[in-house]
Amino acid sequence: MVERKSATDIPRRRRAIYMGLKQYLEGDDLLNALCIWQQHYSRLPKFAITNFVRRITENTGLASSRAAIHLSLTSSLMLNEDSLGPDPLADMRHYLGSRLGDSEAESILGGSTNAPDDGARRSDNIQVFEILMNSFFTGISDSQQTAVADVRSALLRRLPELIRDPNQLQAISDWLRDGKRTLQAELDAGQLQQLLHAAYVVACDRLGPVRTDQCLTRALDTAERSDAGRRQSPRMWL
Amino acid sequence: MRSRSLNYRHCLVCLMVLLWPIGAWGQTETDSLSQLAGDSVWIVTAAALVFFMQAGFALLESGMSRSKNTVNVIMKNYMDVCLGSLMFWLIGYGLMFGTNPTGWFGMDHFALNRAEPGDFGFLFFQTMFAATAVTIASGAMAERTRYQGYLYGAIIICAFVYPVYGSWVWGGFYGGSGWLADLGFIDFAGSTVVHSVGGWIALAGIIVLGPRLGRFSEDGEPRYIPGHNLGSVALGGFILWLGWFGFNAGSTVSADVSIGLIALNTHLAAAAGATGAVLALALLRLKPLMTMTVNGSIGGLVGITAGCASMAPSYAIVTGLIAGVIVVLGTLLLERIQLDDVVGAVPVHAFAGVWGTLAAGIFYSDNPFNPEQIIVQLIGIAAGFVWTFPVALIVYAVINRFVGLRIDTVGEQRGLDYSEHYEIGYPEFQQDTLHQGKN
């Protein structure tokens, strides 16, 4: 009902975009358009699809089909998973790799995958997330000494709703219980966003929304100034 | 010769006697047309002043909200005027002012295209009233309401909820009359018809929505969520005050000498409302908050709206003063029962409107303190609540169920400007809290 563009939904929407575009584009043009969507539009609200269509039809022979393409995409985005075609991610990776090199291709597409072995990117994600959350907790503690323990325990209670994998659940629970531990889990962007948001909601209940917003803003600033934060923006989880 | 001259004079006198009524009729017709033209100029000017109140609402409500919700608040104000005006022209005006043989609703003059010139001015003026009634809820429901769901509500209110009650009090412009009007209910410019109705709708909205994230602690303590721009709150208050001169004095629907008293009463009640709020805050040992002071003056304006044409200035001051106190007490009451009204629309419009309607009966200049009139006023007030509140509650509950009225917590975290409109009010200052997508 309510719009929400989480990273976990990206594979489904990528398949929908692929399905909606393939009757208008083919070969490299299609893969290029998919890469543009992946890189620039996959995390934007649904209205942004209009900008995407404009971008891929500008200066091409498709300008007259803009409305039809838009309709095709909005229709395919409404389909459920069973009705969608295959995920074009492997073809996109191959397409980008052959032009930009594997590492660059991975940096563009990596954040969207749920593959367990995208090491460097995943580490950056986790590092930045850790800095962000620790700074957020510190801010809460500075505002109200006892609040941070309440926020951590409330978050622990909510974890089973957010994380299904038992190993991941255990790792995050350990990290939340012991503030000095490092987070030893590989989590995708969607999971990280859900965790941050759950912490935000719990902090709002404990501190009120104004202080929570202030703490989050300061934490975001700290995370963005870190080395990992310069490579991987934490804003994608906001 | 003399005889001929006499005959000539006789004929001239007879002719003058015969033509005199025709000349007098011509003079009367000219005066009547001049009066009609003057009335039209006044009513259209007053309507423009009432329209300007929308700017006041937009500034006041956005100023009392956090910066991340500014665009959303203003967009709701903007679009409820637009959609509300269209719906009122299409359906609402006919329901409210069309021929009303039953006393319950009008039955013609829908989608008015052909009418007397004066009717168009009246429709224009009343459209602004409808837009005012519908926009009251937006401030109360700010910062957590989905844009689409809110607009569905605004359409239904302007087309149906507001006009039906309005027909009971002001109906029968083209024949028949409303049942409350028949009882002798006094609500000159709409303390109940416009403001309490808007306030009850706001109350229903905030009950369906629930409070903003973190507005109340687990043990029920309210947390203050300050608005982001108190300057615009004050400016909005001044604009509303100015617009109210059109709202009340325009309700004469004619350019006559009574508008002096009406405008004076309006001004005195607003001043007394602010004073009443400040006094109440002082007596309760609370800080003299600017937002509460502005709300106090608006409460005074709402309070005097029903009786502005029928009470002496001293009573207008009493009415405004008490309305200001009611605004403060009403705000505290809502906080105590954990209802989150962002701008204080319910105490300002609903509670002060109830008081003002009662005061119009109590201080009625022709027959003050008449118990029968007071009972009629109470019946009208109760009818306003009994009709508006449950219907609005159902409307918002249905919208919430099938369209979605409450934004999810992610949207609330990001702010409705970004999550609902993909547009932000202060791009230079809000970069730090924006989702990556906007960069």
CA distance, residue A183 to nearest chain B CA (Å): 23
**Residues in contact with A118: Cβ distance below 8 Å, sequence separation at least 6, in sequence order:** A106, A110
Question: Which residue from A206, A213, A236 is facing B436, i.e. has the nearest CB?
Answer: A236
Report pLDDT for B422.
86
B113 domain-assigned: yes
Counting residues of chain B whose pLDDT is more than 70, the rounded percentage is: 91
Return the C-alpha torsion angle B280, B285, B289, B295, nearest 10.
Answer: -20
B4 domain-assigned: no
Task: Say yes or no for a CB contact (<8 Å) between B413 and A200.
Answer: yes
Domains contained in chain B, number? 1
* A204 vs A211: CA distance, rounded Å: 8
Q: Is the pLDDT of residue A230 over 60?
A: yes
Q: Which parts of B284-370 fold into alpha helices (H)? A: 290-305, 313-336, 345, 352-362
Q: Is the pLDDT of residue B280 over 70?
A: yes
Decide if B162 contacts B418 (C-beta within 8 A).
Answer: no
Decide if B339 contacts B211 (C-beta within 8 A).
Answer: yes
A46 close to B (CB below 8 A) = no
The sign of the CA dihedral B24, B30, B35, B39 is: positive
Residues of A in contact with B225 (CB under 8 A): 208-210
CA distance, residue A23 to nearest chain B CA (Å): 28
A209 close to B (CB below 8 A) = yes
Report the alpha-carbon angle B223-B228-B231, nearest 5. Answer: 125
Report pLDDT for B10.
63
Decide if B321 contacts B275 (C-beta within 8 A).
Answer: yes
Q: Is the pLDDT of residue B286 over 60?
A: yes
Residue with tokens 């106190």: B325
Counting residues of chain B whose pLDDT is more than 90, the rounded percentage is: 85
Reduced to 3 states, what is the DSSP secondary structure of residue B169? helix
Q: Is the pLDDT of residue A90 over 80?
A: yes
**Mean pLDDT across B154-163:** 96
pLDDT-derived band at A112, boundaries 50, 70, 90: very low
- Distance set, CA B125 to CA A150, B22, B201, B403 (Å): 55, 36, 22, 32
**Mean pLDDT across A107-131:** 63
A197 close to B (CB below 8 A) = yes
A208 close to B (CB below 8 A) = yes
Report pLDDT for A109.
73
Report pLDDT for B356.
98
User: pLDDT: is A97 or A161 the higher one?
Assistant: A161
Query: In which domain, by residue range, is B106 found?
Result: 39-438
Query: Which of B232-271 are b and which e, b meaning 16 or more Cβ less than 10 Å from the residue's Cβ?
Result: bbbbbbebbbebbbbbbbbbbbebeeebebbbebbbbbbb
* A198 vs A172: CA distance, rounded Å: 13
Task: Say yes or no for a CB contact (<8 Å) between B437 and A220.
Answer: no
Task: Say yes or no for a CB contact (<8 Å) between B411 and A47.
Answer: no
Task: Say yes or no for a CB contact (<8 Å) between A213 and B433.
Answer: yes
B312 domain-assigned: yes
Q: Scanning every residue of chain A, which has its alpha carbon at the shortest distance from the alpha carbon of B437?
A: A44
Q: Scanning every residue of chain A, which has its alpha carbon at the shortest distance from the alpha carbon of B422?
A: A45
Residue with tokens 């602010």: B274
The domain locations on chain A are 7-112, 119-237
From the list B58, B50, B61, the residue with the least C-alpha distance to B88 is B50
Decide if B36 contacts B223 (C-beta within 8 A).
Answer: no
A78 close to B (CB below 8 A) = no
> For residue B279, how many other CB atoms are within 10 A of its CB?
17
Q: What is the CATH number of the domain that holds B390?
A: 1.10.3430.10
- Please enumerate residues of B whose Cβ is less than 8 A from a Cβ of A: 66, 146, 212-215, 217-218, 223-226, 403-404, 407-411, 413-414, 419, 422, 432-437, 439
Report pLDDT for A120.
46
Q: Is the pLDDT of residue B405 over 90?
A: yes
CA distance, residue A3 to nearest chain B CA (Å): 8
B280 domain-assigned: yes
* B322 vs A77: CA distance, rounded Å: 57
> For residue A83, how many other CB atoms are within 10 A of its CB?
11
Report pLDDT for A226.
87
Report pLDDT for B174.
93
pLDDT-derived band at A103, boundaries 50, 70, 90: low
User: pLDDT: is A210 or B23 the higher one?
Assistant: A210
